[in-house]
Amino acid sequence: MAQNLPTIALLATGGTIAGSGASASLGSYKSGELGIKELLKAIPSLNRLARIQGEQISNIGSQDMNEEVWFKLAKRAQELLDDSRIQGVVITHGTDTLEESAYFLNLVLRSTKPVVLVGAMRNAASLSADGALNLYNAVSVALNEKSANKGVLVVMDDNIFSAREVIKTHTTHTSTFKALNSGAIGSVYYGKTRYYMQPLRKHTTESEFSLSQLKTPLPKVDIIYTHAGMTPDLFQASLNSHAKGVVIAGVGNGNVSAGFLKAMQEASQMGVVIVRSSRVNSGEITSGEIDDKAFITSDNLNPQKARVLLQLALTKTNNKEKIQEMFEEY
């Protein structure tokens, strides 16, 4: 029977979904303890949905995710997507940086086939662990024909999110992932998938960022988080470490102090590309209090996703107008 089922490639990178703890009632655990075989063994019902072709890309907590793993993951995912025998790709990932990896893949993969990232907020040994159902739902979403041509997706807590929109909003809740600007694009309940919206920003097959033309390291881009009484010291340290671009997590509508703004303007004149984002979780950055002639606004991308897009943009151009267009299109 298994040979007649569709094939889903499952790429494991680690995270809480592969974590294990000493006690079911304690919050402490270690990420990336279980390999892909152990994950699949814990969910035998997956074998009734699809033939699962599993591979271990890494086994790390996502706080240790980096460009090297990104490229390894993306290249292998692209190879599998190009294989006519594979219907879709599911990627297990830690939740801390899942939104960044999802957005990176959304910009560099070239396929209309479903790509779904999934994680867990509770390790496999916890009371009411969420990983098994999340993974079951992720495979179900990848098998659904309506999941095609939607870009990279994230499935968590019965919700389906666009990679561009999803963010982590709570440190421990299983309902941590939200899309505050747009909402989830669909839902999945014990494998039953429903869609309500279609992502409209450019992704995957429409993207100009070709994986074959990219190499590590990507251009260095730092994020500077602002606060009351902020001075330009950290910003200057970033420039001294040869950052090609800087994303400012400004207060409110991407605002900064007068002294900091002056330092930003001077850096822009020297060719450093500066993107204004916000430490606020939602909303579009506008030119309300700052003249953006020297800067780029992040649209409604949070600082960490703005960094991903700016890194890729800088592989193409340093032209501020062109990069601003990218932030409005992707």
Q: Total structural domains in the chain?
A: 2
Q: Is 18 part of a structural domain of the chain?
A: yes
| CATH number of the domain where residue 262 is located | 3.40.50.40
Q: Which residue ranges are tagged as binding site?
A: 62, 95-96
C-alpha separations of 40 from 30, 65, 89 in Å: 19, 23, 15
Looking at residue 290, its pLDDT comes to 80
- Exactly one of 16, 193, 204, 226 is catalytic; which is it? 16
pLDDT > 70 in the chain, percent: 95
Query: In terms of domains, do 194 and 312 share one?
Result: no
Range of the domain at 199: 5-204
Whole-prediction pTM value? Answer: 0.94
Least confident range from 35-39, 218-222, 325-329: namely 35-39
Is 155 in contact with 188 (CB distance < 8 Å)?
Answer: yes
Q: Does residue 217 have a cis peptide bond before it, meaning omega lies within 30 degrees of 0?
A: yes
Residue-wise pLDDT for 67-101, tens only, equals 999 999 999 999 999 999 999 999 999 999 999 99
Query: In terms of domains, do 317 and 223 share one?
Result: yes
Chain centre to alpha carbon of residue 283: 18
Q: Is 182 part of a structural domain of the chain?
A: yes
| CATH number of the domain where residue 131 is located | 3.40.50.1170
Looking at residue 289, its pLDDT comes to 77
Query: In terms of domains, do 86 and 148 share one?
Result: yes
Q: Which residue ranges are tagged as binding site for substrate?
A: 62, 95-96
Q: Is residue 16 annotated as a catalytic residue, yes or no?
A: yes
Residue-wise pLDDT for 113-142, tens only, equals 999 999 999 998 889 999 999 999 999 999
Least confident range from 17-26, 43-52, 285-294, 309-318: namely 17-26
Least confident range from 189-193, 196-200, 288-292, 315-319: namely 288-292
